[in-house]
Amino acid sequence: MKHLLQIILLFIFIGGVQSQVVTTEPVIVTEDESVTITFYADRGSRGLVNFTGEIYAHTGVITNESTGSSDWRYVIAEWGENIPKAKLTMVAYNRHQLVIDNIREYYGVPAEEEILQMAFVFRSATQINGSWREGKDTDGSDIFIEVFKPELAVVFQSPQDDILVLANEEITVVGHSMNADGMKLFLNEEVIHETSSSTLEHTFAAPASGVHEIKLEAFDQNNSVSQTRSLFIRQETVEEPKPEGLRLGGNVIDEETVTFVLQAPFKEYVYLIGDFNNWEPNPDSQMKRDGEFYWLTINDLESGVEYAYQYFIDGTLRLADAYTNKVLDQWNDQYIPDRIYPDLKPFPSDKTTGLAAVINTAPEVYEWQVTDFTPPANEDLVIYEVLIRDFTHNADIKTITDTLDYFVRLGVNAIELMPFNQFEGNESWGYNPSFFFATDKAYGTANDYKAFIDACHKRGIAVIMDIVLNHTFSQSPLLQMYFQGGRAASNNPWYLRDNNIQNPHLQWGFPLNHESEYTQALVDSVLSFWVTEFKIDGFRFDFTKGFTNTPYGPNSWASEYDASRVAILKRMVDNLREVKDDAIIIFEHLADNSEETVLADYGILLWGNMNYSFSEAVMGYHDGGKSDFSWASYTNRGWSNPNLVAYMESHDEERVMFRALNYGAEATDYSVKNLRNALNRKKAAAAFLFSIPGPKMIWQFGELGFDYSIDDFGGRLAPKPPKWDYLENADRKRLWNVYSQMIHLKREEPVFSTTDYNMNVAGAVKQIALNHESNDIRLVGNFDTQTRTVTPQFSSTGWWYNHFKGDSIYVEDLSLEIELAPGAFTLFSSTKMFGFDPTTSIRDLQKSSLNIEMYPIPVNDKLYVQSPYVISSVYVFDANGRQLLQRTVDDHTIELQTSHLSAGFYLIQVVHQNGIVSRKKFLK
């Protein structure tokens, strides 16, 4: 079921006399009578306000067989399926009707099953700008209409819920009965009105103070039934300065005391309701006012106990605290497995609806093992982008923590987690944020995230948080506090009412107003929180082109140089650097180079999307320079510093291997669509990507040739399978090896950070030349579908080393040509680099064809070495050439204890009694 909601209980307090989202005629609905349902699009969630297109009801029933309100039964059509009997008729502006002649027949409910409620979400006939327009209840929940048995019954038409009013304010009660002789209206225990009619309407003045009960009773000669509403009398707000040194949200004073602070300009009054006061807006729960701030201290709390709470604002809004570190979700928490989030506090569905914040005066404190981690330099970053949901079958952060040695073996030194602050729903990419200070529980507890970061730091891996500060979605309390007509109200301190960027392809959620001091303070506090509380090493900022109020038309991609935007972004960066001076700062900006150059000169890293050109290269299409990825070089952009994070794949791009296997070029005796050929071409692409100086990024499983489309399995955002089984495929493992070796070379060999390099990558045969005092590199690759001849442009005569073949060639003629098969590449170095295997070089093969065997690979606690000749001694060296282990032996086989070695690449040297020396690298 698409909509996962709790049954809306009749007695849930939401305050104020609310306008009904739907009305029915008759008011009391029974299954065997015709009912006309009127939907008011300008009420409730207002997602269809002023909408003049066709509207359909997505509807089912809740029966005695339902397990809860999310268990809709006998749904008349799938979501998005338009059938005639679900279509509403517009009877007036923002008013639409649906007539059901017989409820049981309409839904097809068997006679033996009892119908309790009809459930509705109203929607547009089609998606508008990529999303459905939906009409729901005020708090975003589904709409439910109770279905009564044909017996004595009574209902309130008004008030619908418990109410909060001023002393002496007039209250009008309207009620209806069925099969009754009469009705009575009680205030506390006193009858204040009665009638023999089936409709009761009465107005009275509210008492001066206190909490009261309104009861509506219907009776016949033998029985009576009733419904009640609580009546709370509101006092004038007390004006009092808040204590010094408090931040927004819950401030733990001691293990029994918390002071809550809410910033709510233009609001008249606020109550703090929660587990600590039975969710009632009694006089003691009314917050004091200090200018635009409301505050209240709660005492006598129990240490270590979680308390759920909300702010009840102006008698109409019940909102979770935007600054909470934990959110309870009425609709989605029930689907989070206990293995991911053990003992998750249940949402108080019998007290409130929507989302609730949580405070704990003595939460479990995470004990950090690494407190002084220094992230890699910007130019040395090799970033692995991860969507927690799709990286392991368990879809949680704990399992990724257990998998970190994989990243070490691969060689990456930074992991970029796609957004994991609280987002809407449980299955998401995370770019629909709702709360900025809470981790999303769908992936684990807050301490699980901290343990992941700590474990990364132990292994020398930085953690980059992908964060969305351009917009939020509708659940954000900061939006809901000031929301009007389906968008931010004009007086919302944090949001733009109208999106300044009119291109619908650049519109997501509700845009924040980055010129507002309120938004700037919010942004600063968000970034400070994550680097101080979670030791995050830096951020990848989503869609930073949106950090502006400059208007852009419907055909613009908002890429033109924008001085206002640059100033806003620099201000944010300056503030972050005051908190953490070595923070990694990455923008997904994708604007004109004139603007990106200014930002790069400011020390900001910028995403460099090379997906198109690398895809064309791997597929084998080069006409018009379409496979030219020279823009992956910061120098080709005219930048002074290597601040370009170039990548061939990201979460947002089609997978290169999918394109190759489905759309690759074909020749008479060669096809890119062949898996082995496509993987070989991806090897070549990886070699070129990592040879370009500057930081780089990999999208998860790109190193294994992930070949499902981004749109497979139900769409772009749908879960994709974690393909760990790829490691069992020898060709894919060879691709992994190229990625790993190139990453290690990039990190360890100075030549890959040189400023003296050039690229010739516009055609089918591509070349990169790197020059450095320590070493020269000549990389050549054939991205054609036929064999090609290429001149590597060697810089000197003498021995050059074919790194991935383990071969050596003696260059006498600098114009030497070599032949490359389709998809082949060769990386020549003027000096041997770590990972070069001399046992397979031409010169060594002239001496011996000896091949030693090692197992298991990767190594765990023990390494076994076997040779056809008698071994005399064995040495193990790390990547820096340091000797870590030496053993003397007189046998063909030796067992080495390697449990003390950390994860990474090593070189083993085996000396034989006959004088032959063998060297091989191995991975732990």
Is the pTM value of this prediction over 0.85?
A: no
CB atoms within 10 A of CB 413: 23
Which residues touch 773 (CB under 8 Å, ≥6 apart)?
none
806 in Cβ contact with 800 (< 8 Å): no
425 Rama class: left (phi>0) / alpha (psi -120 to 50) / beta: left
Mean pLDDT of 555-570: 97
In 734-765, which positions are buried (b, 16+ CB within 10 angstroms) versus exposed (e)? bbbebbbbbbbbbbbbebbbbeebebebbbbb
Can you say whether the dihedral through the CA atoms of 681, 683, 686, 692 is positive or negative?
negative
Percent of the chain with pLDDT over 90: 82
If pLDDT is split at 50, 70 and 90, which confidence band does 877 have? confident
Average pLDDT rounded to a whole number, residues 606-628: 98
**Who's near 752: CB < 8 A, 6+ residues apart?**
690, 691, 693, 745, 746, 770, 777
DSSP per residue over 66-123, as a string?
A: -SSTT--BS-SS-TT---GGGB-EEEETTEEEEEES-HHHHHT--TTSPEEEEEEEEE
Give mean pLDDT, residues 574-587. 98
Per-residue pLDDT reduced to its tens digit, 208-264:
999 999 999 999 999 999 999 999 999 999 999 999 999 999 999 999 999 999 999
On average, the pLDDT of the chain sits at 92
**In this model, does residue 400 exceed pLDDT 90?**
yes
Q: How confident is the model at residue 914 (pLDDT cuts 50, 70, 90)?
A: low
Judged against a pLDDT cut of 60, whether residue 555 lies above it is answered with: yes
Token readout for 104 is 């049981």
Output the pLDDT for position 452.
98
Angle at 824 between CA 822 and CA 828, to 5 degrees: 145
Confidence of residue 848 (pLDDT cuts 50, 70, 90): very low
Query: In the prediction, which pLDDT does 850 show?
Result: 53
Q: Which amino acid is at 375?
A: P
Query: What pLDDT does residue 861 have?
Result: 86
pLDDT value, residue 845: 26
Give the contacts of 822 (CB within 8 A, at least 6 positions apart): 620, 667, 670, 677, 782, 784, 785, 786, 787
Does residue 825 sit in helix, strand or coil?
strand
Return d(Cα 187, Cα 428) in angstroms, integer.
48
Residue 853 half-sphere exposure toward CB, CA atoms < 13 A: 8
- How far apart are alpha carbons 747 and 753 in whole angstroms? 9
- What would you report as the CA-atom Rg of the chain, rounded to the nearest whole angstrom? 33
The b/e string for 461-470 (b: 16+ C-beta within 10 A; e otherwise) is bbbbbbbbbb
Looking only at the bridges linking them, the beta strands covering 584-587 and 605-609 are: parallel
SS3 292: coil
806: left (phi over 0), alpha (psi -120 to 50) or beta: left
Averaged pLDDT, 356-368: 98
pLDDT at 835 over 80: no
Asked if residues 335 and 377 have their Cβ atoms less than 8 Å apart, the reply is: no
Amino acid letter, 755: T
Half-sphere CA count of 344, side-chain side, radius 13 A: 24
- Separation between Cα atoms, residue 484 and residue 486, nearest integer Å: 6
Which range among 40-44, 649-653, 793-797 shows the weakest confidence by mean pLDDT? 40-44
d(CA 871, CA 38): 89
Beta strand 853-855 pairing with 862-877: antiparallel
Is residue 576 pLDDT above 50, yes or no? yes
Cα–Cα distance, 535 to 637 (Å, whole number): 33
For residue 417, list its beta bridge partners. Answer: 386, 465
Across 314-381, where does the E strand assignment appear?
317-319, 327-329, 355-360
Query: How far apart, in whole angstroms, are the C-alpha atoms of residue 802 and residue 493?
Result: 62
Read off the tokens for 631. 């823009």
- The predicted structure's pLDDT at residue 860: 84
Q: How far is CA 321 from the centre of its chain?
A: 20
- Does residue 173 carry a pLDDT above 60? yes
The H helix count followed by the E strand count for the chain is: 14, 50
Instruction: Record the tokens describing residue 46, joined without a space.
Output: 């207002």
DSSP state at residue 433: B
Check if the beta carbon of residue 382 is closer than 8 Å to that of residue 695.
Answer: yes
Distance (Å, rounded) from C-alpha 750 to C-alpha 824?
25
Per-residue pLDDT tens over the stretch 28-43 = 999 989 999 999 999 9
Distance between CA atoms of 494 and 509, rounded to whole angstroms? 14
Q: What is the pLDDT of residues 42-81, one digit of tens each?
A: 998 888 999 999 999 999 999 999 988 889 999 999 999 9
DSSP code for 822: T
CA distance 894 to 864: 6
Q: At which residue do the structure tokens 């003027």 appear?
A: 830
The answer on pLDDT for 716 being more than 70 is yes
Which ranges of 197-248 would DSSP assign to H, the alpha helix? none
Cβ burial of 832 (10 Å; 0-12, 13-18, 19+) is middle
Three-state DSSP state, 678: helix
Question: Could you tell me the pLDDT band of residue 838, with boundaries at 50, 70 and 90?
Answer: very low
Residue 2 confidence (pLDDT) above 90: no
Dump pLDDT digits (tens) for 487-538.
Answer: 899 999 999 999 999 999 999 999 999 999 999 999 999 999 999 999 999 9
Of 535, 543, 496, 545, which is closest to residue 518 (Cα–Cα)?
496
Residue ranges and CATH numbers for the domains of the chain are 1-150 (2.60.40), 249-360 (2.60.40.10), 381-743 (3.20.20.80), 750-836 (2.60.40.1180), 842-923 (2.60.40.1930)
Vertex 110: Cα angle to 109 and 115 (nearest 5)? 55
Average pLDDT over residues 733-744: 95
- Other CB atoms within 10 Å distance of the CB of residue 663: 15
Q: What gap in Å lies between CA 437 and CA 526, rounded to an integer? A: 7
Residue 909, pLDDT score? 84
Mean pLDDT value across residues 550-564 = 95
The C-alpha atoms of residue 474 and residue 487 are separated, in whole angstroms, by: 9
pLDDT at 854: 84
Chain centroid offset of residue 143 CA: 28
State the amino acid at position 413 in one-letter form: N
Chain Cα centroid distance, residue 540: 12
Per-residue model confidence (pLDDT) at position 8: 31
Distance CA 77, CA 488 (A): 33
| Range 609-639 burial, b when 16+ CB lie within 10 A, else e | bbbebbbbbbbbbbeeeebbbbbbbbbbbeb
Q: Where are the beta strands (DSSP E) in 468-522?
A: 471-472, 483-484, 487-488, 510-511
User: Sorting pLDDT into bands at 50, 70 and 90, what band is 841?
Assistant: very low
| Number of other residues whose CB lies within 10 A of the CB of residue 405 | 15
What's the one-letter identity of residue 892? Answer: H
Q: What is the mean pLDDT of residues 841-850?
A: 32
Q: Is the dihedral of CA 560, 561, 564, 566 positive or negative?
A: positive
What kind and span of H or E run contains 836? none
